[in-house]
Amino acid sequence: MITAAQVKELRDRTGAGMMDCKAALEDAGGDLERAALLLRQRGAAAAQRKALREAREGLVEAYVHLNGRIGVLVEVLCETDFVARNERFRQFAHDMALQVAAARPRYVAREDVPEEVLATEREVYRQQALGQGKSERVVDSIVAGRLEKFLGEVCLLEQPFIKDPDRKVKDLLTDLVAVLGENVRISRFVRLEVGES
């Protein structure tokens, strides 16, 4: 038997709806950890379906750091102005502004990285591997691994979240979509730092 206290605890932990929490707890036999994992898995599936829906509402979050030496603007979009006013949505936008300030991404997603940038990086990694005396048969896997690391550094969605480095920004976004029930996306950002070109 699932108690109201269990449902409340799971809801407080995940932010998911009451009925979703109750169903997850029932499916997990009352195990809170397993229920939280089920909610995350279901949220990822729901996020994929919702990603196709249009997001035209949202907000622009501003963050200024270090006595005005670093400034960030991040546009986060959702489907309705109701969600744009939601505290969790606003907290996510603020966290993304902090992430951009601290981690210096250059692109939102890996799809945004121009092919010429990827080609240049591939060639640099290839020459480095060959210059280190690596055999031709392992060079391609070395290049792929280094390119993946590069994308993890320059793409906001691929970066480890500064407040929880065990999770990527895209995981937080997926969780937010699952909780809010709407398509949410980081549209664009700009980061300015005094003296940096």
* Same domain, yes or no: 101 and 164: yes
pLDDT tens for residues 1-26?
888 888 888 777 766 667 778 888 88
How many other CB atoms are found less than 10 A from the CB of residue 26?
Answer: 14
Distances (CA, A) of 149 to 31, 154, 170: 36, 9, 16
pLDDT tens for residues 99-137?
999 999 999 999 999 999 999 999 999 999 888 888 888
DSSP state of 77: E
The CATH number of the domain holding residue 45 is 1.10.8.10
Residues 6+ apart with CB under 8 A from 185: 51, 55, 76, 77, 173
The CATH number of the domain holding residue 130 is 1.10.286
Joined together, the tokens standing for residue 94 give 């603020």
> What is the span of the domain harbouring residue 163?
57-109+155-193
Report if pTM > 0.75.
no
Q: Does residue 149 sit in helix, strand or coil?
A: helix
